[in-house]
Amino acid sequence: MDSLIISKKLGNINSPDELFIKRLYNYHYKGGFKSIMTENIVSLLINYFLLFFINFLTNCIDYHGLVFNEQQNIDFFNYINMSNWFPQNAYLIICFVLYTIYILCCTINTIFTIQISWKIRKIYYKKLNIKDTELKLIDWNTVVDRIKIIYPDPNLNIYTIASKIMRKDNLTICLFRHNDLIKYRMSKFLEWNFIYCFVNSLFDKNDNITQELLDNYQKNVKKRLKLVIIINLLALPFILYIIMVYSIIKYGEKFYHHPELITNRQMSIKSKWRIRYYNELPHNLGTRLCKIDGIVKKLISNNNYTPINVIIRFSNFILGSIFILLLSLSVINDNLLTECYIGNKNILWLLGIMGAVILLSRKLSISNSNSILSEEKEKNLFANLQKLLASINPEWFSVGMRKKCMLMLNSIYKYKILFILLEIWYIVVSPYYIYQWSKQIKKINIKEIIEQHYILGNVVSKSLFTNINLVTKDPHCYASLQEFKKNNPEWVDIMSYHLRTGTSFIDEPFVWENASQLEGGFRDCLNTTIIFGNKEINEENII
């Protein structure tokens, strides 16, 4: 959505086109003009601060003097020289120039964003009669009703509007679910490269898919892949330094004061794309993902209850006892905090480290038996998870398959600290993955993916809910339709034609034809093989 703001075009406000509708949705989704302006300005200020702070940390502090100083009373400012703020060697100068260019682009983007948002604010206020203070009280479906009143186009409804908003995302979903693509783990950096090359290559400046772009799709993708490989190779050493310093600044303070965040799990990027339904708008996806996250984390915690937790709890007791002893002695004599040493470290330093270790280990373990779910609760959680992941063969959630299911869920949900480390690693190996993509592009027949619709134009064929043949054959298409109906119950009336003509498939459950569909019913994109019993389960055969 944010990539739209790079263009200063507002879209056709007289006859709503895709660009204009996206801007209306983005304005509502972001919460109005003040929220958008505040978010973008704060983000820009953070980037300017990081530019200053990275140079300060790199050039202004005399680390050698601080490390080897043996004096007891140290004045930190004696080891700071602000005159060295601008980098001196060629490597740091290039890093500085690259980051400066990036910030300048962010500045221009922020200006365009605020300008566009101000124009959209006027349209909301004058045409749709919706004030910013009312946005949080009005859902998107209500905004769509207002749009249909202002623009009485018979082809403008909740379905066609969602299809226009999701045109790019639908293609991304389809490509991520493509069996011959995405055989590797995906980071945010690789995701951006993939979407830029494989998705954006198919759209013109107005976000339309033209016949010319369809005919030259593979050629355009190959050009972008070559360009991205060259840029990544040239900029890799400099981007890597910036990202590493940025990650330390961003996460260091959080993990030190809240070490329990290290144990937080999150879904892999590929899994998010693969479980996302066609025409599922971001706010609906966010709600569904929150529910899935809550259930999965409870199941993982329940199934990870092992004897090692008892050992961790015993270690916590020992560390806690020593912590209390040192803290009590410090209360008796506060000079002990800084003047009393154990080894070469004072008690204050040890208390800080021990406190962080105790807090982290508590979060890593299950502290009491109440964390273990009863059989009935576990059954209900799996049943609710099955509803939220309706495109997956329900057999995967049965009692006999739950161990395999939990192995897969553990592989999809990784610790946040691991994602941070992988993000840095994939920046290093990104040229290799992009090179592999260049060899896989020939496997994509884009004309089999895209279909011409008489109202929507060229769209992903699997996103067309009126395409009965696809909906009845593809479980993910069927689940997408059912989810769309649940989020937009008024749209059922539009489908009454199919009910009258006997095609009442939309109210019937999807039937899995045979057991062989099981292996293709729950495929995650992580390139890992899990051993279950004597059988290997490849995670490419899941979601």
Q: What pLDDT sits at residue 2? A: 44
Cβ atoms of residues 411 and 539 within 8 Å: yes
Q: Rounded distance, CA 430 to CA 237, Å? A: 12
- Give the C-alpha separation, 496 to 506, whole Å: 10
Q: Bridge-partner residues for 450, per DSSP?
A: 460
Closest CA to 201 of 162, 234, 168, 166: 168
Distance CA 107, CA 113 (A): 10
Per-residue pLDDT tens digits of the chain, which is 543 residues long: 444 444 567 777 787 888 889 999 999 999 899 999 999 999 899 889 888 888 888 888 887 777 676 666 666 677 788 888 888 888 888 888 888 998 998 999 999 999 999 999 999 999 989 998 888 889 999 999 999 888 878 888 899 999 999 999 999 999 988 866 666 678 888 899 999 999 999 988 777 888 899 999 999 999 999 999 988 888 888 888 778 777 777 776 666 666 666 667 888 888 899 999 999 999 999 999 999 998 988 888 776 655 556 676 777 778 777 777 777 777 777 666 666 777 777 777 777 777 777 776 766 654 444 456 777 888 888 889 989 988 888 888 888 888 888 888 888 888 877 888 888 888 888 888 888 888 888 888 888 899 888 888 899 999 998 877 778 788 899 899 989 989 988 776 444 444 444 444 444 444 444 333 333 334 333 233 333 333 344 444 445
- How many beta carbons lie within 10 A of that of residue 502, not counting itself? 7
Q: Which residues, including other chains, have CB under 8 Å from residue 87's CB and lie 6 or more apart?
A: 55, 58, 59, 93, 95, 96
Spatial contact of 181 and 438, defined as CB atoms under 8 Å apart: no
Residue 279 backbone phi and psi in degrees, to 5: 65, 20
Looking from the CA of 205 toward its CB, the CA atoms found within 13 Å total 6
pLDDT of residue 117: 92
In whole angstroms, what is the distance from residue 250 CA to residue 242 CA?
Answer: 12
How high is the pLDDT of residue 262?
Answer: 67
Rg, the chain, Cα only: 27
Which segments of 447-527 are extended strands (E)?
450-453, 457-460
- Cα(247)–Cα(43) distance, integer angstroms: 15
Give the span between the Cα atoms of 420 and 418, in whole angstroms.
5
